[in-house]
Chain A
Amino acid sequence: GENVEQHPSTLSVQEGDSAVIKCTYSDSASNYFPWYKQELGKRPQLIIDIRSNVGEKKDQRIAVTLNKTAKHFSLHITETQPEDSAVYFCAASIYDNFGNEKLTFGTGTRLTIIP
Chain B
Amino acid sequence: GAGVSQSPSNKVTEKGKDVELRCDPISGHTALYWYRQRLGQGLEFLIYFQGNSAPDKSGLPSDRFSAERTGESVSTLTIQRTQQEDSAVYLCASSFGTKPSYEQYFGPGTRLTVT
Contact = CB atoms under 8 A, between A and B. Distances in A.
B107 A93 contact: no
Interface size class of A (residues with CB under 8 A): 20 to 34
Contact of B100 (A32, A97, A108): A32
A43 B9 CA distance: 12
Interface residues of B, number: 19
Nearest to A104: B45
Given A89-B43, A93-B100, 13 more contacts: A32-B101, A45-B106, A46-B103, A89-B42, A91-B100, A93-B99, A96-B58, A98-B56, A100-B48, A101-B99, A102-B45, A105-B42, A105-B45
Contacts, number: 55
B43 to A, nearest CB: 4
Nearest to A42: B108
Contact of B91 (A44, A51, A102): A44
Contacts of A42: 108
A96 B59 CA distance: 10
A43 B43 CA distance: 11
A107 interface: yes
Contacts of B43: 44, 89, 105
Contacts of B33: 102
Contacts of A100: 48, 56, 58
Contacts of B35: 105
Nearest to B108: A43
B56 A93 contact: no
A51 B99 CA distance: 13
Residue among A43, A98, A104 with max Cβ neighbours from chain B (10 Å): A43
B41 interface: yes
A4 to B, nearest CB: 9
B41 A51 contact: no
